[in-house]
């Protein structure tokens, strides 16, 4: 079973801390882009008075539009912890592939490559790349080594509940192991009925039958974590 409970990327930070990144999909990223588009339009409208000063004023207005269009996302992403106003409204953030904060070089690269993502028009290349990428990356993200994630998905994995460890009945892929561990980490937030309902979806992985789906998932998660 390759389907996951969420689109998750489990990475190990340089400090050796394991992070669970919840990758942002096309819808959330598009909404954030729309908010940023409105903010930029408001800035352009506020600067439109420069056009009243003849050719010099119009030249300054064009320079200002150029600077905002290209450096608005870069400045906010680096100085505002990976978030533009649109990303902050949607609860998104740009990070490097290893979960560390995005820097100037990566942000400049990913944003200046928007000209490629825009091709052949209306960000067609970006849409296709995002839909085909497991981590929802557009071309700029692939080259810059960045990924857009939900902010609440960057926290360290919580301690797993106590359960009798049990080995999986079959070899599991890293993604499947991550799904089991994430389920166990979140299980304390759900009612027993909801936990059993979700655990039943993992039956092809756990081999559980009857009413022991939840306990089986928790036991396998403990085993994957290293408990014996």
| 161 falls within a domain | no
82 Rama class: left (phi>0) / alpha (psi -120 to 50) / beta: left
Q: What gap in Å lies between CA 70 and CA 57, rounded to an integer?
A: 20
Q: Note whether 77 and 24 are same-domain residues.
A: yes
Parent domain of 221: 174-225
Per-residue pLDDT of 25-57, as tens digits, reads: 899 999 999 999 999 999 999 999 998 888 999
- Per-residue pLDDT, 153: 44
- In degrees and rounded to multiples of 5, residue 88 shows phi and psi of -65, -40
| 162 falls within a domain | no
| 163 falls within a domain | no
Q: Note whether 48 and 18 are same-domain residues.
A: yes
| 126 falls within a domain | yes
- Per-residue pLDDT, 158: 59
| 3 falls within a domain | no
The secondary structure of residue 138, as a DSSP letter, is -
| 160 falls within a domain | no
Total domains in the fold of the chain: 2
- Per-residue pLDDT, 152: 64
pTM of the complete model: 0.63
Q: Note whether 111 and 186 are same-domain residues.
A: no
| 26 falls within a domain | yes
Q: Note whether 19 and 64 are same-domain residues.
A: yes
Q: Note whether 83 and 184 are same-domain residues.
A: no
Q: What gap in Å lies between CA 218 and CA 77, rounded to an integer?
A: 38
Q: Note whether 146 and 186 are same-domain residues.
A: no
Residue 14 neighbours by CB under 8 Å, 6+ apart: 98, 100
Q: Note whether 14 and 91 are same-domain residues.
A: yes
Q: Note whether 53 and 90 are same-domain residues.
A: yes
Q: Note whether 145 and 186 are same-domain residues.
A: no
- Per-residue pLDDT, 13: 52
Largest CA-CA distance found in the chain, in angstroms, rounded: 79
- Per-residue pLDDT, 30: 93
Q: Note whether 50 and 149 are same-domain residues.
A: yes
Per-residue pLDDT of the chain (228 residues; tens, 9 = 90+): 333 444 666 665 544 445 668 889 899 999 999 999 999 999 999 999 998 888 999 999 999 999 999 999 999 999 998 999 999 999 999 998 888 889 999 999 999 999 999 999 889 999 999 989 888 899 999 999 999 999 864 444 457 788 888 888 888 887 778 778 878 888 877 788 888 888 888 888 888 777 778 888 888 888 887 777
Q: Note whether 192 and 140 are same-domain residues.
A: no
Q: Note whether 191 and 147 are same-domain residues.
A: no
| 110 falls within a domain | yes
């Amino acid at each position: 079973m390759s389907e996951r409970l969420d689109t998750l990327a489990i990475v190990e930070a340089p400090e050796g801390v394991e992070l669970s990144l919840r990758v942002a999909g096309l819808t959330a990223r598009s909404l954030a882009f729309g908010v940023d588009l409105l903010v930029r339009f408001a800035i352009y409208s506020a600067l439109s008075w420069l056009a009243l000063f003849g050719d010099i004023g119009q030249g300054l207005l064009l320079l200002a539009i150029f600077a905002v269009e290209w450096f608005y996302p870069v400045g906010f992403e680096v100085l505002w912890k990976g978030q533009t106003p649109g990303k902050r409204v949607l609860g998104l953030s740009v990070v490097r592939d290893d979960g560390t904060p995005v820097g100037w070089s990566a942000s400049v690269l990913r944003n200046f490559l928007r000209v490629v993502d825009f091709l052949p028009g209306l960000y067609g290349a970006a849409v296709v790349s995002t839909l085909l990428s497991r981590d929802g990356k557009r071309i700029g993200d692939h080259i810059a080594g960045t990924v857009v994630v939900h902010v609440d998905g960057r926290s360290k994995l919580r301690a797993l509940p106590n359960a009798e460890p049990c080995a999986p009945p079959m070899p599991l892929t890293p993604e499947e192991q991550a799904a089991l561990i994430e389920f166990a980490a979140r299980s304390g937030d759900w009612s027993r009925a909801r936990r059993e309902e979700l655990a039943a979806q993992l039956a092809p992985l756990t081999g559980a039958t009857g009413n022991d789906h939840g306990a089986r998932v928790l036991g396998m998660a403990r085993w994957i974590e290293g408990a014996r």
